[in-house]
Structure 1
Amino acid sequence: MLLKMAKPLPKILMLLFIFLIIFSARAQNPFNADMVVALDGSGNFNKIQDAIDAVPSNSDRRTVIYIKRGLYNTEKLIVPGDKKNVTFIGESRDETIISYHIYDCNSPGSGNKCPVADAAKWTGENIRTSSTITLQGDGFRAENLTFQNTAGPVGQALAITVKSDKNVFLNCNFLGYQDTIYLWDAGKRSYFENCIVLGRTDYIYGGGIAWFENCEIRSWGGGWITAPSTPRSQPYGYVFNNSRFTYATNSPRAGDDGNLVRIGRPWHEYPKVAILNSHMTEKIHPEGWGDKWGMDYSDTSPDLHLYEYNNTGPGADMSHRANWAGLRALTEAEAATFTIQNVMGGSDGWHPTAEAPAVRNFNWTGSGNTKGWLVAGNWNPGDVPAVGESATVNGQHEVLATGGSFLADLHLQNGAKLNVTDNSTATYLSMAGAELTTAGNVTLGGKIATKEANKMNGTGTLTLNAALSGVHIFTKEGSGRVVLAANNSDYSGNWNVTAGTLEVNVASAIGKGDVTVNSGATLVIGNGGALQPTAALRVVTGSTLVLNADVTLSEFYIDGTMQSLGEYSATTHAGLIGGTGKVIVGRPSSFNFIGGTNGNWDNPAHFSPQLLPEAGETVMVAREIETTNFVFPADIVLSSTGNVRLRGAHRATGVIRMEEGSRMSYATSGTGFTLDAPIEVSGDVRMEMNSGNSAGNAMVLIGNISGNGKITARNSRNGTEVATLVLGGDNSSFTGIWDVTNAPAHADGVVRMEGTTAQAFGAGLIEVGLNNKVLLSHEKSVGDHLKLNTSGNGKAVLNTTVRVNAFMLNGTAIAPGTYTATTHPSVLEGTGSLVVANVTSVKKDIGNKLIDYKEKTLYITGSKTFVSVFSETGAVIVGEATSKTVSFRNLKPGLYIVRYASDGRQGSAKVLVK
């Protein structure tokens, strides 16, 4: 029987069929990836580390791992040394996010990493630093994704640690706060192009070599961009070329915003940093550098190469730079030697740009026959940007969203305008100084992220089904209407409605920010949850507020005046408010202390909003707040200008958090003041006592004190009075410095600090100088370990028998024995004695493994071990050795801290060397 042959497909259908096959293959395996990672299960792996582990060991062939959109925040990643030539490609630069939250800490039992429970999940090389990802395999490459550490302002919290060589990062974001990028090993090379690096404190640091080309270096205020540790013999350190040094607001740490930024400070060795052909914000500190960080040679050694050349912007002015021998402008001839090849080539001639980017990046040219966003002729290269690619419109160009979906990431910046002419979807749209507009009645879906302030304009109605994220303000202009129709709970920027109508009809449509409605403009609220209760709503005479639902807010302003608790509606404010709903002024979770005549903490008028804070709420204090008999229930955060003024024996049940520069004080003729409150210290703070009482005066703190800052006791009375800071709580969680070295305001005045309870001084170092005294009035006031530094005539007064296991005096361990004012009259006073126990060795049991110390040698058993040794002051004696024995024979007598790991288990111990 003959089979009937099918009719051949028309040519155009055949081409379409082939295209679909190719497109389908590309969608399943983009960029010819060897592996695909996807959270939704559509790839080869759900976890990135599983893909890394599947890379062939020591392969010369490049292995490409494609990572789909998603927040990958459950893994602390490591690329081991035998996993070479690995490439990460993200589907979206801003939405493929590799994230974790480990940070360095000093919590008991933490092994120096927190949160403790999360840190315990990782062992060996993967927990050496608090980095989201650690690179050890050479030839690593990443494109089109984000690395971040979300721990915030808590200490070292790295986004990435680089120990490998010949690394390339293209179109990536590195987001952190302290120590964002650690270029660990000297001589190891990393190349960054078109990247964003965000941080505050030493956030690009280490001894490696790095070239930053066309990158944005974005700083929060008050810190340092770099902390290089370049060896003297290494000709190059960090080079920034054709880059932008910018300033970030909305820092996660209160007090950062507005402060200047230094280019860097030398960590150790001989730092080398060159900034060429770059734009520098006005927030760069005029000195540029200036902080020696304990290295006295920094300003005199020409081996520090801190160079600048042909930079622009207010921060590029070098006329007030620090007067350091190695800090100068390059000559044209010298600058010409700073090429990628010279800096990165090394002995093997490596050139990081020899391999073309895998991800195509498009730039708008507007050369097409129309300005449509899907017209290939408008883009360079001449194609329509696709999934996994990136497209940028930079400058005052108008792009028409003519319908359909824009599949690539679309970045509008520096005056770019997206005119929505038909119902459209932007898979991911970022806006930085950009504008959305329409003259029709259209919708825009997808996602929109703000990078800088933006505006919405037009004469038509634009319904935003797109979800917003970011922290930057939107200004509504033009006579048209903008309808926010998505849940924008990830957006915390403010709204300024200057003209036309802004309408919000779904929960969290506004996001978490405030709204200001100007004269002639209208805000329509159709859902009671459209604004967060903590948001502030500001309206003025001449504006219109249409309430189609009841709204509860903590702050409601009319013509600049904050309204008191109550309900506001068309009945109470005809002409200003319309609709059938009302504004109900209720409670916020966070307050600002605005003060008053006396600044008492029990007066609702002294807070914004004008309510007394309750337990679980927080008060931000940047001025003086005074205690009363009212037991204050809320948490207090004292910024650098904040001060708690004591007025008697008072109590707070909330935590008082003291940031750098904050104070507690009194000024009176009274004899003493007591505060019973938990106190957390996160910086250098002062306890100032000012009383004219000739019998002396005291500040008594009977709550528990924690933190690692410096607490300075100060007698600020210009008289001969004795002022005493009395520590009456369990301060065992305090690991900072008790400072009794401050000179009284009067030459004959005296400052004292007294511990009256067990653990009054916690684990802190006591420093006493001049004629000041520190009083030990409980046998365990310093716990098991007394750390005392004295200078001048400063002394410790023994009011009882004090018993410790170890005594460090001015950095030297004192042998076991009994000490009194008779044995040590230059540093001890009083009728009591100091008994130092005889501690000869330390032994810790960790499962079936042992760490032991005998005959001045430390022993660790186990197949996989490492050990670090620190002095009592924190100086590194042995840095992460893998040896199973460590000799202490050449160390001077004293107490040393040992941190160790054995077969994945970790611990710490103290060793006393006699």
Structure 2
Amino acid sequence: MKLKFTLLWAFLILCSSHSIFAIDADMVVAQDGSGDFTTIQAAIDAVPSNQTDRRTVIFIKNGLYNTEKLIIPSNKLNVTFIGESRDQTIISYHIYDCTSPTSGNKCPAEDALLWTGDVIRTSATLTIMGEGFRAENLTIQNTAGPVGQAQAITVRADKCVFINCDLTGYQDTIYFWNDGIRCYFKECLVLGRTDYIYGDGIAFFDACEIRSYGGGYITAPSTPQSQAYGFVFSHCDITYTDGSPQPTNDGQSFRLGRPWHEYPKVAWLYCDMTGMINPQGWGDTWNMDYAATSADLHLYEYMNTGAGADMSGRASWVGLRALTETEAADYTAAKVLNGNDGWAPYEDAPLVTSYQWDNGGSDNGWLTAENWDPDGSPASAEVANVSGQVTVDANGGTFAADMNLTAGAELNITANSTAAYIAGEDATISSSSDVTLSGKIATKDTIIISTTANLTIDAKLSGIHKIIKRGTGTVILTADNTDFSGLFIVEEGTLDAQTENSLGKAGVEVKNGASLKVENDAAFFPESSLSVVTGGTLDLSATVTLSEFYIDGTLQTVGSYSATTNPSIITGTGSVVVGRPSTFLFSSGTWDNVSSYTPAILPEQGETVLCEGEMETASTTNVANVIFVKNKGKLRLRGQHKSTGTLTFEGNQRISYATSGTGFSLEAPIIIQDDISFEMSSANLGGSTMELTGTIVGSATVSVKNTRSDVSNNSKVWLGGDNSGFSGTWDVTTHASNASGLVGIIGASANAMGTGSILIGQDNYVQFDHAECTSSANNLVLNPGAKATVTADIIVGSLTLGTTTYSTGVFTAASNPEYIEGNGSITLEPNALHQPSISEFSAYYKNGQIILNGNAEELRIITMDGKVVHEQHVINNQVTVNLKTGVYLLINENNSLYKLAVIN
């Protein structure tokens, strides 16, 4: 048996034109140019059309493929993707559904406009229209986060198979778009939060992990009433995870699903269910009253285990119940998938060889062929699984396959060894002699590293989970671990950080009797935290600079800590220097809540905050410069509040409120770098007002919306600041969510409308209350059914009433009563072309480019301490430059200044 395997392997090596791969592929995609193509879509396009007699195998080498929105067209049949590594072959994109009509309701607009036709029909990273698609050993993800529908895959074709794949997103991760289409998932991970397995197809999940962020729903089925099956989960692990892109989700229970359309069918059989499942299981009829009373909903459970499997608290819906033993027999893969054509994907062996540790050899060696099932030494592009309370010896050499250590498995390093890739989940890496482990290690959950000697980890660490140091010996970190942002917990012995970035971006906790040794000034990430308790030791030969330093749980003040100041916990010639960070992170809550910030101190004037969640205003004036990170951060108004620090919106965010009152106000300087919305939701029958009295600068689109659906009222944005730096579009074309509601915008001060366009839709309105709130640079468009209330005599550059555009004239309520009311007038002065003044010069940094809002021919970039880092001629208002994280001053040829915060 061993000889046969060895000869087969040699044959593949000799015969394949891509001899380093175990898979005999038709094409190879490699970003480094070592394959046939550098992009995945190019390989797809090269597949012969309408080929029914064989599969086309595309081998995808490791890498992050995040520049393409992919499609398998309907004439590309039986396409197979094989990844070199499940965790390191990553197909990724970031488009999501939004309300931007110019980009087809897909955002970010600049990316959405790159794609046409079926590619952009949904927001999926991969759209599958060709029958017979298969994927193995890779990750497909959508990274848009908590912003709306953002699929990893949209399946529109029959007979699709996913084996050993990660499919990750937040909302709507997998969309089955077509009645009757069949999909089979084997040993896959599906991750999401909101309705992340949805649609009307048939899907069988076999021994998969279905992992949820808190607060949402796994499924949103819309199974046709006549279709026998919908989604079936068999022998799956239903799990929960912290670390949601929306931090407020953490700690919340989630539900098995909610009905979307039609009469959904979902069955859970032999699954292990976490206790984080809401006892009701379902419980949300999603405005479909029949869902609770119709027996045509088939929401079934059978022989599940775990704390979440208890059905005693389930919602009292007629169609939600346990299956009988006889009924459960109809929920096998064969019954669900076979159909009329006998499709049986569960009988096909995976194309990627997957080994299981069975310890059948004479030793525990990781390269001993007899220790694996099937017998053989796992190779590159293959998978090796070690699970349970077993020990594998890394006794030298290189382990080329991906190794998954789970459920208590231990990798014992007995000689200097290299692992191409180790994924650890509830696993241990150990040693009892002075050895080195090289390669890569990823945390999927907690990993224990235990040694009684000196174990050098020269492997690059990645992940967000805990690494616990145990044993009396020393673990020495020597790799660049920038991709690790979890937590080191030193419980015993010593953790020795010897090199730059060796601690990554992780925090460190040092327990009683344990020691952290730091030998490099740059071993620590400055924004990480260090915590030590009495009895723990910091052995420092370097200067550790950070912003969060805790002794016995108490956050230390700004200053220097050394063996002189704290001899009970610090030894050596080095020190811990606590300073204020250059950048704070904000999760969610009010802007004066210290616990919402990392580090947990309030930012001061001039400091920068990156907002990654929903920030609420407070009575305390905000003095920090806040940047609402694209697609994630939001601002919620909670009162009559003020910010002296600049609020910068990178785009696709909102300023909003939800209230039973009459609205809220904000006095703040605002910079808008890309499209955002002002959203008002008030239960007050008299309506509400969003008052914005600070300056607004930008050239993007601001959409004004009344989002209250259960109340008919009038909600309006009141602009009371000098917005002469705004040259974008005030878009008031979206109808109020309530059919009888109103939404409007009011210019109440000089330059309130800036120099932008003003677009008013049917039943919406604009109100001009100041004679200088507009200028000849403004373009005013009143669509049919729109109104302008004019209480002062104003000037605009152009005017559209319905379908007619005017360039000269004076317009009043008397001349155009269907569009204008009030005692003022609108005069057209189209010849005064607006040019930005020096004070209006502004800029922002995005994807390696500085985008200028204003005219400049030359640009000089300097640091805050006066060092010139770049000088360049400006072309089309853009400058290409790579900037490190920090704050810079930009100077144009007129010597006007703009402060630019750069986030990498």
Q: What's the TM-score, normalizing by structure 1?
A: 0.75
Whether 1:271 aligns to 2:264 is yes
Question: C-alpha separation between the residues in 2 aligned to 1:17 and 1:639?
Answer: 54
* Alpha-carbon distance between aligned partners in 1 of 2:446 and 2:192, rounded to the nearest angstrom: 20
Shift of 1:388: 1.6
SS at match of 2:393: strand
Q: Which whole-Å CA distance do the structure 1 matches of 2:473 and 2:405 have between them?
A: 21
Residues 655, 680 of structure 1: 8 Å contact kept: no
Shift, 1:487, TM fit: 0.4
Structure 2 SS opposite 1:323: coil
The count of residues paired between Structure 1 and Structure 2 equals 771
Q: 1:619 to 1:375 in 2, by over 3 A?
A: same
CA distance in structure 2 between the aligned counterparts of 1:500 and 1:123, rounded to whole angstroms: 58
- Give the match's secondary structure for 1:634: strand
CA distance in 1, matches of 2:189, 2:293: 33
Once residues 604 and 142 of structure 1 are traced to their aligned partners in structure 2, the CA distance between those partners, rounded to angstroms, is 41
Q: Deviations over 1:512-561 (max 9, x none)?
A: 11101111111111111111110011112211111111121011111222
2:732 aligned residue: 762
Query: In 2 relative to 1, CA 798–412 (structure 1 residues): closer, same or farther, beyond 3 Å?
Result: same
Structure 1 residue corresponding to 2:100, chosen from 97, 107, 118: 107
Write the deviation string for residues 361-412 of structure 1: whole angstroms up to 9, x where unpaired: 1111223221111222222222222222111111111111111111111110
Cα deviations by residue, 1:748-807 (Å, 9 ceiling, x for unpaired): xx998564679888345446899x998876699995435659xxxxx9999999983133
Q: What secondary structure is seen at the aligned counterpart in 2 of 1:346?
A: coil
Question: Conserved in 1, the CA contact under 8 Å of 2:735 and 2:742?
Answer: no
Partners of 2:642 and 2:667 within 8 A in 1: no
Query: How far does residue 611 in structure 1 lie from its aligned partner after superposition?
Result: 4.9
The Cα of 1:113 is off from its aligned counterpart by 2.5
Paired residues for 1:186-335 under 5 Å:
186-335=179-328
Q: Judging changes above 3 Å, is the alpha-carbon distance between structure 1 residues 832 and 340 closer, same or farther for their aligned structure 2 residues? A: farther
Q: Does 1:119 align with 2:112?
A: yes
Instruction: List alignment gaps of at least 5 residues for structure 1.
Output: 1-12, 658-677, 691-696, 744-749, 790-794, 836-914
543, 553, 561: which is aligned to 1:550? Answer: 543
Q: In structure 2, what is the equivalent of residue 527 of structure 1?
A: 520
* Maintained 8 Å contact 1:679/1:703: no
In structure 2, the residue matched to 1:461 is 454
In the TM superposition, 1:533-572 aligns within 5 A as: 533-572=526-565
Q: How far did 1:309 drift?
A: 1.0
Give the 3-state SS of the residue equivalent to 1:806 in structure 2.
coil
Match of 2:317, SS state, is coil
* Stretches of structure 2 lacking an aligned partner (at least 5 in a row): 724-728, 772-779, 788-800, 805-810, 827-904
Distance 2:491 2:28 in 1: 47
Task: Answer yes or no: is 1:712 the counterpart of 2:681.
Answer: yes
Q: Larger deviation: 99-108 or 309-318?
A: 99-108
Preserved contact between residue 570 and residue 582 of structure 1 (Cα < 8 Å): yes
Aligned to 1:32, the other structure's residue is in SS state coil
User: Offset of 1:81 from its aligned partner?
Assistant: 1.5
Q: What is the CA–CA distance in structure 2 between the aligned matches of 1:132 and 1:176, rounded to whole Å? A: 10
Matched, 1:805 2:783: yes
Deviates more, 1:581-590 or 1:281-290: 581-590
Matched, 1:32 2:24: yes
CA contact (8 A) 2:622 2:642 kept: no
Structure 1 residues 604 and 42: CA distance shift in structure 2, 3 A: closer
Q: 2:41 aligns with which of 42, 49, 69?
A: 49
Question: Counterpart of 2:868?
Answer: none
Could you tell me which residue of structure 1 aligns to residue 86 of structure 2? 93
> Structure 1 residue 23: deviation in Å?
3.6
Relative to structure 1, the CA distance from residue 187 to residue 679 in structure 2 (aligned partners, 3 Å threshold; closer, same or farther) is: closer
Residues 60-113 of structure 1 show CA distances to partners (whole Å, capped at 9, x for unaligned) of 212222222222222222222221112222221111222222222333632322
Equivalent pair of 2:683/2:708 in contact (CA under 8 Å): no
CA contact (8 A) 2:29 2:58 kept: yes
1:413 to 406, 431, 442: 406
Q: 2:654 aligns with which of 671, 677, 681?
A: 681
2:416 pairs with 1:423:
yes
CA distance, structure 2, for counterparts of residue 740 and residue 338 of structure 1: 41
Q: Distance in 2 between matches of 1:774 and 1:58?
A: 52
Normalising by structure 2, we get a TM-score of 0.76
Q: Provide the residue aligned with 1:353 in structure 2.
A: 346
Alpha-carbon distance in structure 2 between the residues aligned to 1:52 and 1:636: 38
Letter in 2 for 1:47: T
Q: Does 1:499 align with 2:498?
A: no
Write the distance in 2 (CA, Å) between the matches of 1:217 and 1:603: 31
Structure 2 counterpart SS, 1:325: coil
User: Separation in 2 of the partners of 1:567 and 1:404?
Assistant: 45
The amino acid across from 1:330 in the alignment is L
Q: 1:29 to 1:481 in 2, by over 3 A?
A: closer
Looking at structure 1, the residues matched to 206 and 516 of structure 2 have their Cα atoms a distance apart, in angstroms, of 45
One-letter identity of the residue aligned with 1:367: G
Q: CA deviation at 1:207?
A: 1.3
Give the aligned partner of residue 873 of structure 2: none
Query: Residues 753 and 78 (structure 1 numbering): CA distance in 2 closer, same or farther, change over 3 Å?
Result: closer
Tell me how far apart the structure 2 counterparts of residues 105 and 775 of structure 1 sit (CA, whole Å).
21
CA change 1:613–1:164 in 2 (3 A) is farther
Q: Which amino acid aligns with 1:762?
A: V
SS in 1 for 2:412: strand
C-alpha separation in 2, matches of 1:325 and 1:711: 38
Distance 1:829 1:326, change over 3 A: farther
Distance change in 2, residues 1:163/1:741 (3 Å): closer
User: 1 CA distance for matches of 2:717 and 2:94?
Assistant: 38
The alignment partner of 2:232 has SS state of strand
- Contact persistence 1:763–1:783 (CA under 8 A): no
8 Å Cα contact 2:498-2:518 kept in structure 1: yes
Deviation at 1:134, TM superposition (A): 1.6
Secondary structure of the equivalent of 2:732?
A: coil
- Of the three residues 686, 706, 718, the one matched with 1:737 is 706
Residue matched to 1:167 = 160
Partner deviation per Cα, 1:211-246 (whole Å, 9 max, x = no partner) = 000000111112211121211111111110000111
Secondary structure of the equivalent of 1:402? strand
- Rate the CA distance shift 1:23–1:113 in 2: closer, same or farther, 3 A: same
State the one-letter code of the partner of 2:654. V
State percent identity of aligned pairs: 46
Match of 2:440 among 435, 447, 453: 447
Q: Are the aligned partners of 2:457 and 2:476 in contact in 1 as well (CA < 8 Å)?
A: yes
The code of the aligned residue for 2:702 comes to S
Is it true that 1:609 corresponds to 2:584 in the alignment? Answer: no
Amino acid at match of 2:308: G
SS of residue in 2 equivalent to 1:386: coil
**Cα displacement (A) at 1:278:** 0.3
Alignment partners' CA distance in 1, 2:401 and 2:557: 49
- Alpha-carbon offset, residue 206 of structure 1: 1.4
Q: Secondary structure at the match of 1:455?
A: strand
**Equivalent pair of 2:732/2:743 in contact (CA under 8 Å):** no
Matched residue type, 2:28: V
Q: Contact conserved, 1:797 with 1:830, CA < 8 A, in 2?
A: no
- Aligned equivalents of 1:545, 1:331: Cα separation in 2: 61
2:57 maps to what in 1?
64
Structure 1 distance, partners of 2:358, 2:597, is 57
Measured in 2, the distance between the counterparts of 1:48 and 1:785 equals 43
Shift of 1:586: 2.1
Superposed displacement of residue 457, structure 1: 1.0
How far apart, CA to CA, are the structure 2 residues paired with 1:144 and 1:775?
A: 52
The amino acid of 1:258's aligned partner reads G
Instruction: Indicate the larger mover: 100-109 or 523-532.
Output: 100-109
After superposition, the CA RMSD in angstroms is: 4.4
Cα 1:567/1:722, change in 2 over 3 Å: same
Question: Structure 1 pair 489/296, CA: closer, same or farther in 2 (3 Å)?
Answer: same
Once residues 588 and 10 of structure 2 are traced to their aligned partners in structure 1, the CA distance between those partners, rounded to angstroms, is 68
Residue 556 to residue 167, structure 1, CA distance change in 2 (3 Å): same
Whole-angstrom CA distance in 2 between matches of 1:703 and 1:19: 66
